Chains A and B, each alone.
Chain A
Amino acid sequence: MNPKTSPNRRELLQGTLDMLILRTLLFGPAHGHQIAKHIQRTTDDVLQVEHGSLYPALHRMQQKGWIISQWESINEGKREFKFYRLTKTGRKQLASEESKWKQLAKAIALVMSPASSEE
């Protein structure tokens, strides 16, 4: 882990990462490890979520009130994890980020492959 690069990449990913986390939590509460794994798995390991970005993002989103957290035990109390869940504002945030993202994706698609853009 090179300390030089992590801040820069986080800056780049910040907006997208927030959206991905919110989207993941839409299926239900999850802890940090689950969130990271879920994103990784659903993107066929294309997106590796750096933990250096994940936890700061979670704490930041919690401060903004998009998500809340709670310690819960699983496996009959054998292990405890901090679970994050979506709030009402978080849902709204997700909706707005999603629509922004779709617009962007569409716009990029128009540029990249003009012929197939008509669906």
Chain B
Amino acid sequence: MVRHRLKSRLSSIFRRQAAESDLQRELQSHLDLETAEQHESGLPADQAYYAARRAFGNPTLVTEDVRESWSLAWLEHFFRDLRYGARSLLKSPGFSAVAVLTLALGIGANTAIFSAIDVLMLRPLPFSSPDQLVRIYSIKTGIADTFGNPDGPSAPDVRDFAQRSHSFQKIVVYDTWRKNVSFGDLAGEPEQMRVGLVPAAYFEILDVKPIAGRLFTEDENQVGKNFVAAISAGLWKDRFAADPSILGRTIRINGEPYTIVAVMPDLTPERVESGLLDSPKVWTPFAFSDVWSETSRGERGYLALARLKPGVPLEQAQADLSVIAAALAAAHPVDQGVSVSIKKLADTRAGSLRPMLFLLMGAVCLILLIACVNLANLLLARNSARQRELAVRTALGSARRGLIRQLLAETLLLSLAGAAAGLLLAKAGLASVMMLHPANLPQLEALEIDWRVLTFTLSISLVTALLFGLAPAITGTRLNLVDALKQGGRSGTAGKGGKRMRNLLVATEMAMSLMLLVAASLVVQSLARLNRQSLGIRQDHLLKGHFYVPGVRYPDPSAIARFCDQFANKIRALPGVIDATVTTIYPPNNGWTQMLGIPGHPATRIQDIPAAQFGVADAHFRTTLAIPLVRGRDFAESDIATSPPVALVTEEFRRRYFPSQDPLGQKIHIGPPQFMQLPSGAGVTDSSDVTIVGIIGDFRNNGLALPPEPQIVVLYSQHPLVNYGFKDIVIRTASEPSSLAPAIRRQLHDLDSDMPFAEVQTMEALVEEESGGERFTAVLLSLFAAAGLVLAIVGIYGVVSFAVAQRNQELALRIALGATRANVLWLVLKQGLEMATIGAAIGLLGACATQKLTSSLLFGISPVDPATFAGGAALLLAVAAMASAIPGVRVMRIDPSEVLRQD
């Protein structure tokens, strides 16, 4: 059937020749008869022929109309138009090159940003029925939680959600912890990595099946039976060379042996959200001794994943859980004020990048529009230069419709060529963005140009072709034949309408380019402000690294304290080290919020309990980081485990909790008040009260962009209950800090060969990474603004030169009649400046209108900053003046006698 149809199509193409001559023969016979009749009615032979022709009309047009009634005619037209288009474009290579480059910039930028948006927001997740997958969060109103994780639920809460809700197939609670993992002597150095603590349900919800081996059993979720591990396919290849006999082998996690029972695919939500580097590649069962007991209900910060029942909408599931959360809040004091929120897993990908992506998408849209405007202008100029050609073709019988179609075919060709070049540009651009390697944008790892991106590029190039091609094609073919032919191509009438349109387009272009300029400048300024932020410490010559002292070999807090002291002492003895401190605190983020009991701040409701950023350190903390001591004394070597516990607090702490009192000598209780009835074993409280002995300067502990929060620092040697194995070491060096990293690693290895030294970074690198997202936006936006400005310059230059070429005679005449060269220059400059001024005004209004979009990305600067607005507008005007000065200077050199003698 299909074959038959194809055959008949093909034969119809071959029949075309026959049909064509048949038609000619038919029309000829008609003409002949008409001529004969005219002759018979008395006209001489030659006049009879013309009379017949007149009566018949335009034979070419009749032929075309008839042809159109034949099938496939449109396809042939299309190819013919493309062929003509290609030929005419090749005839003006300069124009074509500029056009393709312009489009490549616009389409390339859009393609690159779209591929990022696609990866982060649009593309379906690589799991089965990904729309059913959701994350569950707990949201606290006005209460700081014990571990500083703002929105993870607790295990008992999730268990109750699972038991009482009706909207889910399955709900799982799990976690990821950084642990020391050794793969055995043959498989290389130990490594600190995130280990997934997951029951089998985690993989079942995702519908991810083992490549080899089996999922964990229910039994293995019990402490003591949990020494089994699953590894990722990637790890299996990297560390074990994809050894087929991997199952049954042993790896050591935090010093304890685990048997490998499964190899899992690399596919997990963490992989999508955090990228390859930081996603778990090892999983062990979710086994905690007391995680399910009622006393753990306040221990939030776990991760929760669920699969909705088919057909259950998100809102219904949310309502279902909200009812349960309200019941829990009524039944349990620690759940007071805690509500629940669910989010589609697909929507958690972009995270904080969302506003940035929207801004960038807006920016690239502007660039594409500017490119379109530029091209529309170029085409307008080109078409008016081609007016004679078009007029001749109309006179020879082409229908206007056909001319428009053919002009559009040209723009389509340009657009497709631009798309191809744009793709290459996008590919190169993405590669260089990856070189910037923004460490806190791991989601961009999956960026690639695939068929989805190609489809997008093709569609925008088609839309683009229409956008920039339609208006010039329509105005270009609105010809007055007699005028166009008579003018002999001398100056080609750029009608008043055409000129106004070109000026309007350039003004629009200027406006858009100014909007880009303002946005880029604002983001760059706020980045500079962010980087100028004082951390409150001396940030040069500082190195930091993380290590974990595992409980297996260091079973009690005093063993951990001993190890930390020993390590710090060895480091302090190294040449090139000025000071070192083992601590859990370093700027710009702390992330451990602790409830406190403070005299003068009684709390009966959970919302009123005082809280502060909390951390433990050794006595060298303040001196190593070089934080100023405001009043009182620093920690001393004499503050030991058995002496009365002491604390340092920051100025902000004093302002918040002791506004009118002297905090020195005051006693503070570490932990929530008794009425919350949290067991001390949960590790959230500490029996001993501490005495404030010193006030130190504020330092950034809540990110670069937010003001410092109240901070309290205690000694780990004096607080065994909060002396966990997780520790950082911060080192003040005399020389380049990163050069000391190998020596420090060696010291740690000497103390414990199973302990990896992780997250080694200079403080400066850390701060830079912290503002990575902002820098990424700033770099891209600046590039886009530059591209927009260049396009705008080309646009204004093009229009002014074209106008000058048209007015050559007039200007020459003016000079001949006594106008000074300066007068003439001003005449030309004025045109460019007029457009730029109108454009600048519109652009500033546009920037005001879009301030909502930019404001979320700015820090310490208003989205309508007057200086930035003024500067941007001034730059635009200057550039416009320069671009128009080039043709202006050319005009000054006109020799009037020569110009006026032409034609």
- Seen from chain A, the residues whose Cβ lies within 8 Å of a Cβ on chain B are 1, 3-4, 6-7, 10, 31-33, 50-53, 55-56, 59-60, 63, 79-82
Say yes or no: B69 contacts A3, CB within 8 Å. Answer: no
- Max chain B C-beta neighbours (<10 A), residue from A10, A51, A81, A82: A51
| Distance between Cα atoms of A107 and B61 in the complex (Å) | 36
| Distance between Cα atoms of A52 and B59 in the complex (Å) | 8
Known contacts A51-B57, A59-B70: A7-B399 contact under CB 8 Å: yes
**Contact among A3, A31, A81 for B61, CB-based, below 8 A:** A3
Say yes or no: A79 contacts B394, CB within 8 Å. Answer: no
Hey, what's the 0/1 contact readout for B40-65 against A, CB within 8 Å counting as 1? 00000000000000011110011001
Known contacts A51-B62, A56-B62, A59-B66: A3-B30 contact under CB 8 Å: no
For residue A7, which residues in chain B have a CB less than 8 angstroms away from its CB? 65, 399, 401
B:783-838 near A, CB below 8 Å: none
**Does B166 reach chain A (CB closer than 8 Å)?**
no
Q: Which residue of B lies closest to A32 (CB)?
A: B30
**Does B68 reach chain A (CB closer than 8 Å)?**
yes
Write the nearest CB–CB distance from B145 to chain A, whole angstroms: 73
Q: Which residue of A lies closest to B56 (CB)?
A: A51
| Distance between Cα atoms of A56 and B65 in the complex (Å) | 6
| Distance between Cα atoms of A26 and B29 in the complex (Å) | 23
| Distance between Cα atoms of A59 and B65 in the complex (Å) | 10
**What are 13 residue pairs bridging A and B, where the CB atoms are less than 8 Å apart in the complex?**
A1-B58, A4-B400, A7-B65, A7-B401, A33-B29, A33-B30, A53-B65, A55-B27, A56-B69, A59-B66, A60-B69, A79-B33, A81-B29
Write the nearest CB–CB distance from B645 to chain A, whole angstroms: 95
| Distance between Cα atoms of A63 and B72 in the complex (Å) | 13
Say yes or no: A3 contacts B56, CB within 8 Å. Answer: no
Say yes or no: B26 contacts A55, CB within 8 Å. Answer: yes
For residue B55, which residues in chain A have a CB less than 8 angstroms away from its CB? 51
**Does B398 reach chain A (CB closer than 8 Å)?**
yes
Known contacts A3-B394, A7-B401, A51-B62: A59-B30 contact under CB 8 Å: no
**Does B736 reach chain A (CB closer than 8 Å)?**
no
**Does B397 reach chain A (CB closer than 8 Å)?**
yes
Q: Which residue of A lies closest to B403 (CB)?
A: A3
Ranked nearest first, the 8 interchain pairs of A and B with the lowest CB-CB distance are: A56-B65, A60-B69, A59-B69, A1-B57, A82-B26, A1-B58, A52-B57, A33-B30
**A-B contacts besides A7-B65, A33-B30, A55-B65, 7 pairs, CB < 8 Å:** A1-B61, A3-B58, A3-B400, A32-B30, A50-B57, A51-B57, A59-B66
- Seen from chain B, the residues whose Cβ lies within 8 Å of a Cβ on chain A are 22-23, 25-27, 29-30, 32-34, 55-58, 61-62, 65-66, 68-71, 394, 397-401
Write the nearest CB–CB distance from A106 to chain B, whole angstroms: 32
| Distance between Cα atoms of A60 and B399 in the complex (Å) | 20
| Distance between Cα atoms of A52 and B401 in the complex (Å) | 15
For residue B34, which residues in chain A have a CB less than 8 angstroms away from its CB? 33
For residue A80, which residues in chain B have a CB less than 8 angstroms away from its CB? 25, 29
For residue A63, which residues in chain B have a CB less than 8 angstroms away from its CB? 69-71
- Max chain A C-beta neighbours (<10 A), residue from B33, B68, B70: B33
Say yes or no: B29 contacts A52, CB within 8 Å. Answer: no
For residue B30, which residues in chain A have a CB less than 8 angstroms away from its CB? 31-33, 51
| Distance between Cα atoms of A56 and B394 in the complex (Å) | 20
For residue B398, which residues in chain A have a CB less than 8 angstroms away from its CB? 3
| Distance between Cα atoms of A29 and B732 in the complex (Å) | 107
Known contacts A7-B401, A56-B66: A82-B29 contact under CB 8 Å: yes
For residue B397, which residues in chain A have a CB less than 8 angstroms away from its CB? 3
Known contacts A33-B30, A79-B32, A81-B29: A55-B66 contact under CB 8 Å: yes
Say yes or no: A56 contacts B29, CB within 8 Å. Answer: no
Say yes or no: A6 contacts B61, CB within 8 Å. Answer: yes
| Distance between Cα atoms of A1 and B61 in the complex (Å) | 10
For residue B69, which residues in chain A have a CB less than 8 angstroms away from its CB? 56, 59-60, 63
For residue B68, which residues in chain A have a CB less than 8 angstroms away from its CB? 56
| Distance between Cα atoms of A4 and B398 in the complex (Å) | 10
- Max chain B C-beta neighbours (<10 A), residue from A31, A32, A55, A56: A55
For residue A52, which residues in chain B have a CB less than 8 angstroms away from its CB? 57-58, 61-62, 65
Say yes or no: A79 contacts B57, CB within 8 Å. Answer: no
Say yes or no: A32 contacts B57, CB within 8 Å. Answer: no
For residue A55, which residues in chain B have a CB less than 8 angstroms away from its CB? 23, 26-27, 62, 65-66
For residue B22, which residues in chain A have a CB less than 8 angstroms away from its CB? 82
| Distance between Cα atoms of A65 and B34 in the complex (Å) | 28
Say yes or no: B58 contacts A79, CB within 8 Å. Answer: no
Write the nearest CB–CB distance from A73 to chain B, whole angstroms: 11
| Distance between Cα atoms of A39 and B508 in the complex (Å) | 56
Write the nearest CB–CB distance from A100 to chain B, whole angstroms: 23
| Distance between Cα atoms of A55 and B68 in the complex (Å) | 11
For residue A50, which residues in chain B have a CB less than 8 angstroms away from its CB? 57
Q: Which residue of B lies closest to A81 (CB)?
A: B29
| Distance between Cα atoms of A38 and B32 in the complex (Å) | 18
| Distance between Cα atoms of A3 and B479 in the complex (Å) | 12
| Distance between Cα atoms of A38 and B872 in the complex (Å) | 74
| Distance between Cα atoms of A4 and B477 in the complex (Å) | 11
| Distance between Cα atoms of A63 and B70 in the complex (Å) | 8
- Max chain A C-beta neighbours (<10 A), residue from B34, B62, B71, B401: B62
For residue B56, which residues in chain A have a CB less than 8 angstroms away from its CB? 51
| Distance between Cα atoms of A90 and B33 in the complex (Å) | 27
For residue B399, which residues in chain A have a CB less than 8 angstroms away from its CB? 3, 6-7
| Distance between Cα atoms of A96 and B667 in the complex (Å) | 104
**Contact among B27, B29, B70, B71 for A79, CB-based, below 8 A:** B29
| Distance between Cα atoms of A62 and B69 in the complex (Å) | 10
Write the nearest CB–CB distance from A101 to chain B, whole angstroms: 23
Say yes or no: B400 contacts A31, CB within 8 Å. Answer: no
Write the nearest CB–CB distance from A77 to chain B, whole angstroms: 13
Write the nearest CB–CB distance from A89 to chain B, whole angstroms: 17
| Distance between Cα atoms of A13 and B394 in the complex (Å) | 24
| Distance between Cα atoms of A7 and B398 in the complex (Å) | 12
| Distance between Cα atoms of A53 and B58 in the complex (Å) | 11
For residue A59, which residues in chain B have a CB less than 8 angstroms away from its CB? 23, 66, 69-70
For residue A56, which residues in chain B have a CB less than 8 angstroms away from its CB? 62, 65-66, 68-69
Write the nearest CB–CB distance from B818 to chain A, whole angstroms: 46
Write the nearest CB–CB distance from B26 to chain A, whole angstroms: 5
For residue A81, which residues in chain B have a CB less than 8 angstroms away from its CB? 26, 29, 33
Q: Which residue of A lies closest to B68 (CB)?
A: A56
| Distance between Cα atoms of A118 and B62 in the complex (Å) | 44
| Distance between Cα atoms of A55 and B61 in the complex (Å) | 11
For residue A10, which residues in chain B have a CB less than 8 angstroms away from its CB? 65
Write the nearest CB–CB distance from B41 to chain A, whole angstroms: 13
For residue A6, which residues in chain B have a CB less than 8 angstroms away from its CB? 57-58, 61, 399
| Distance between Cα atoms of A91 and B543 in the complex (Å) | 96
Q: Which residue of B lies closest to A48 (CB)?
A: B55
| Distance between Cα atoms of A52 and B57 in the complex (Å) | 7
Q: Which residue of A lies closest to B54 (CB)?
A: A1
Q: Which residue of A lies closest to B402 (CB)?
A: A3
For residue B71, which residues in chain A have a CB less than 8 angstroms away from its CB? 63
| Distance between Cα atoms of A32 and B66 in the complex (Å) | 13
Write the nearest CB–CB distance from B403 to chain A, whole angstroms: 10
Q: Which residue of A lies closest to B60 (CB)?
A: A3
Write the nearest CB–CB distance from B737 to chain A, whole angstroms: 79
| Distance between Cα atoms of A1 and B399 in the complex (Å) | 11
Write the nearest CB–CB distance from B774 to chain A, whole angstroms: 58
Known contacts A56-B68, A56-B69, A63-B69: A32-B26 contact under CB 8 Å: yes
Write the nearest CB–CB distance from A55 to chain B, whole angstroms: 5
For residue A53, which residues in chain B have a CB less than 8 angstroms away from its CB? 65
Q: Which residue of B lies closest to A80 (CB)?
A: B29
Write the nearest CB–CB distance from B751 to chain A, whole angstroms: 91
For residue B26, which residues in chain A have a CB less than 8 angstroms away from its CB? 32, 55, 81-82
For residue A1, which residues in chain B have a CB less than 8 angstroms away from its CB? 57-58, 61
For residue B401, which residues in chain A have a CB less than 8 angstroms away from its CB? 7
Q: Which residue of A lies closest to B63 (CB)?
A: A55
Write the nearest CB–CB distance from B566 to chain A, whole angstroms: 94
Write the nearest CB–CB distance from B626 to chain A, whole angstroms: 83
Q: Which residue of A lies closest to B58 (CB)?
A: A1
Write the nearest CB–CB distance from A16 to chain B, whole angstroms: 17
